Structure 1
Amino acid sequence: MREAKIQATDYLILLLVGACLGSIAKTGKENFGAIGYTYTIIAVPLLCKIAALRSFSLNKLQYWRESALAYFLEKDTVNHFNTVIKLVVYLSMFFFLTNLRSLFAENYIALLCLVYCVTGTGYAFAIFFQPGPAQLWSVLVPIVLTLVATRTQDNEVLKKISNL
């Protein structure tokens, strides 16, 4: 029951975030909803990465004691269900409240790839760092990288980081 309550809380948070971001994202002919996509790229990976920290932060000893690859693949496979459902929950509210020009399936596939990548980095942060620094890195990395990528730069180093 404890796991079910945690999952229900995650789904409720994603539903509320989708509703909030969908209602404040202004879509128009001049920007095609680009602000809503920026909010989505920051919020959804952040929430999914924080949820991914729970997979390994409490079971770090089992990870190092058992076959690391097998344990990682087991946790990753079990969490695929959550990855698929969480995106449906978020996009159902966000897509309903915004007037996006792209299809639901296109948004879903793009977010699925993004969330799969960030959950992997969340697993790595949980494995290699203590819980406090892992949460800090999980919040800091997507926000900073999104801000760098969406900013126009005159600096060559920032351009290369942005392209990466």
Structure 2
Amino acid sequence: MAFWFRCNFPLLLLLLNIVIELANVRKCLGECDLYQGSWMRDPSYPLYNATTCPFIEKEFNCQKNGRPDLDYLHYRWQPTGCNLERFDGVGFLKKFKGKKIMFVGDSLVRDQWQSLTCLLYNARPNLEYTLTRSGMISTFTIKEYGVKVMLDRNVFLVDNVRESC
């Protein structure tokens, strides 16, 4: 193996240069691999206070349920080779003005819905909103922007059909 490495060292350098160049081209084209990166400590986080957000259900509210540490709240995802912009709640509301967004799924999806509603609730103080529930569907509406963020709590995304053997 050492012989192969020594003999092919110029080839390895060439391949490494090609990989670096491709990464730079992707970066220039605005491509960003969001799945490669690491969690970075950021003292400006969290973006909302879960203890004061009215949409976090008591079963999912770590601080209200007695979790003593808060360090885990001060991290953000940093993709390798590019930067994510900080979430802008008002910008989001403007972009999705008059639109409906629906989350469909189990408790994990409910966590995501609760986080987005808290981020939007926190975007601008005193925004007028409504929260309605009809069956398994919860709808958070910000009237000024006509944005609806809905949750269809559904643990079975496929039909369960019993077949006789």
Give the structure with the larger helix fraction.
1
User: Greater Rg, structure 1 or structure 2?
Assistant: 2
Q: Which structure ranks higher in relative contact order (CA pairs < 8 Å, sequence separation ≥ 6)?
A: 1
**TM-score bucket (shorter structure):** under 0.3
Give the structure with the larger strand fraction.
2
